Amino acid sequence: MNDKSYNNLVASTDKAITTQMGKFVQHHRVKQNRSQDDVSAAAGISRSTLSLLEKDGQTSLNTFIRVLRVLDLLYVINNFEVSDEISPLAYAKMKKKSRKRASKKSNIINNTLNDSEELSW
């Protein structure tokens, strides 16, 4: 989403946003050449409820999701997905602590200590 459209949404009223959601549904329903009766029956809602949704979006979230499902538009819900993310700073610290290469020197020291320990017996 570009900054301009985001700023428009922030400045919009709740009513304007729900109306935009209704127009979204109506646009895609008409584009798919489906009647209100067809979509409302498939969604398990009344035609008047769908009409209210398309007019001003003043319906429940559950109704909105049902209609999105019928119109195969559930992809818009992907924007609400929350995933665990590691911060760039934490990632950099983690990478800094990881080994970059193997060292023969530490193996030689460990072997020498083991040999000297055995000699002391």
Question: From CA 105, how far away is CA 78, in angstroms rounded?
Answer: 51
Whether the model clears a pTM of 0.85, i.e. scores above it, the answer is no
Residue 56 CB burial class (10 angstroms; 0-12, 13-18, ≥19): middle
Question: From CA 68, how far away is CA 9, in angstroms rounded?
Answer: 21
pLDDT of 98 strictly over 90: no
Say what angle helices 14-31 and 61-70 make with each other, to 10 degrees: 20
CATH number of 3-79: 1.10.260.40
The structural domains of the chain, with segments of one domain joined by +, span 3-79, 88-119
Tell me: the pLDDT tens digits for 9-63?
777 888 988 999 999 999 999 999 999 999 999 999 999 999 999 998 889 999 9
